[in-house]
Structure 1
Amino acid sequence: MSGAGTASGADPFAGALGRIRSPRPRIVLVDGAAGSGKSTLAERIAHAIPRAQLLALDDLYPGWDGLDAAARTVADDVLRPYRRGGRPRYRRWDWTLAAHAETRVLDRTRPLVVEGCGSFGAGAAALADLRVWVETRDHERRRRLHERDGDAFGPFWPLWEAQFARYAGRERPRTAADLVVRT
């Protein structure tokens, strides 16, 4: 989408929140690379939209190589049923057991904020009312990930980054954004 707005500065999230006007969006997608600030922004957006529910792709990735699978799940099992009056649902991934866990059903009468690497993928961007791309410098992303996860992410960084690069090269998600937030 051309003409995407950009938010940056002392509180880059304020600009994104300012884009949420009446009528409130029903589906908001927040995408970007690991450690860019997606979760923080998505939480603030969800709090700004009355009754919004928040879905983190961390609950959908079926392991460290599951970015594309999670993108398909969001598009096919969550957003399409949500838009068409169906039953939006997904099976949560249990990272400890490395297996799918319970099925969770979302309330399609409530607004939905989806955040995670790949959330614009597999046709999901076309189903959203607002698409927000979050970006920051690579060294800052690494610092944030280390601060959040300690050394847990480290061994998987090359795999995840390669996967994200393929996704970004194939789908060009930044170009689908209505708003780009630099953190």
Structure 2
Amino acid sequence: MLATEPRLGPVRLVAVDGPSGAGKSWFAGRLAKVADIPVVHTDDLLDGWDDQFTFWARLEEQVLEPLRHGRTATYLRYLWHLERFGGSPVTVEPAAAVLIEGVSSARRTIRPELSFSVFVTAPADLRWRRALARDGRDDVAFRAYLERWRAAEDEHFAAEGTAAHVDLVVDGAAEGPGDRYEAV
């Protein structure tokens, strides 16, 4: 990854994409720790539940554009429990590499500027269980929302052909000694 050429100005932008519950955040966290690079989670830039794919202009303006020009990026996280942006500003320096993690992070519009991209996948039933456990809800309304979210993801990934355009597909369900991920 660090041997690739920078394509987002001076930055090697690395995307970790895949459906909800596949293990993107866990994988991105491990990768960032090993490589000592910052991570931007797209969920932090969503303006609530209905901003699943329309957040990109915010990411572009607050994160990608500054990094593209070698400047520090600054943004506020979405505070899900308060349903608004706030808290302390997050800063991302134009490091040798920056990781962007989340659904649609390897979308077609950014592919020319990605130095490396990963698609994390896992079986649908495992992803469902993980999403329910992660969000701490298992009521009828949340299940209906999650079904809509996942249907939109499926449609997005099919239209974008994401898994066919990444550098590495990772099995987010693999378990074993050491890392629990395997390239597929």
Contact 2:2 2:97 in 1 (8 A): no
Report the counterpart of residue 77 of structure 2 in structure 1: 92
Report the counterpart of residue 101 of structure 1 in structure 2: 86
CA displacement at 1:118 relative to structure 2: 1.4
Task: Give ranges in structure 2 of 5+ residues lacking alignment.
Answer: 7-11, 173-184
CA displacement at 1:80 relative to structure 2: 3.3
Report the counterpart of residue 82 of structure 1 in structure 2: 67
The secondary structure found in structure 2 opposite 1:81 is: helix
1:125–1:80 distance in 2 versus 1, CA, 3 Å = farther
Report the counterpart of residue 112 of structure 1 in structure 2: 98
CA displacement at 1:72 relative to structure 2: 3.4
User: Given residue 93 of structure 1, which amino acid in structure 2 is its aligned partner?
Assistant: Y
Q: How big is each residue's C-alpha offset from its partner over 1:123-164, in whole Å with a ceiling of 9 and x where there is no partner? A: 223222110001111001012222322326534202311321
Q: In 2, distance between residues paired with 1:167 and 1:182?
A: 20
Q: How big is each residue's C-alpha offset from its partner over 1:19-51, in whole Å with a ceiling of 9 and x where there is no partner? A: x4546973211000000010111011101113x
Q: In 1, distance between residues paired with 2:4 and 2:162?
A: 25
Greater CA drift, 52-61 or 107-116: 107-116
1:141 to 118, 121, 127: 127
Q: In 1, distance between residues paired with 2:111 and 2:26?
A: 20
Report the counterpart of residue 176 of structure 2 in structure 1: none
1:146–1:134 distance in 2 versus 1, CA, 3 Å = same
Q: In 2, distance between residues paired with 1:126 and 1:89?
A: 23
Report the counterpart of residue 34 of structure 1 in structure 2: 20
**Larger proportion of helix:** 1
User: Given residue 79 of structure 2, which amino acid in structure 1 is its aligned partner?
Assistant: D
Q: In 2, distance between residues paired with 1:172 and 1:110?
A: 28
Q: Taking structure 1 as the reference length, what is the TM-score of the superposition? A: 0.77
1:55 to 30, 40, 43: 40
Q: Taking structure 2 as the reference length, what is the TM-score of the superposition? A: 0.76
User: Given residue 32 of structure 1, which amino acid in structure 2 is its aligned partner?
Assistant: G
Residue 158 (1) aligns with residue 147 (2): yes
Q: In 1, distance between residues paired with 2:3 and 2:158?
A: 34
User: Given residue 91 of structure 2, which amino acid in structure 1 is its aligned partner?
Assistant: V
Contact 2:48 2:80 in 1 (8 A): yes
Task: Give ranges in structure 1 of 5+ residues lacking alignment.
Answer: 1-19
Contact 1:29 1:125 in 2 (8 A): no
1:126–1:72 distance in 2 versus 1, CA, 3 Å = farther
- How high is the sequence identity, in percent, across the aligned residues? 29
Report the counterpart of residue 163 of structure 2 in structure 1: 174
Asked which structure has the greater RCO (Cα within 8 Å, sep 6+), the reply is 1
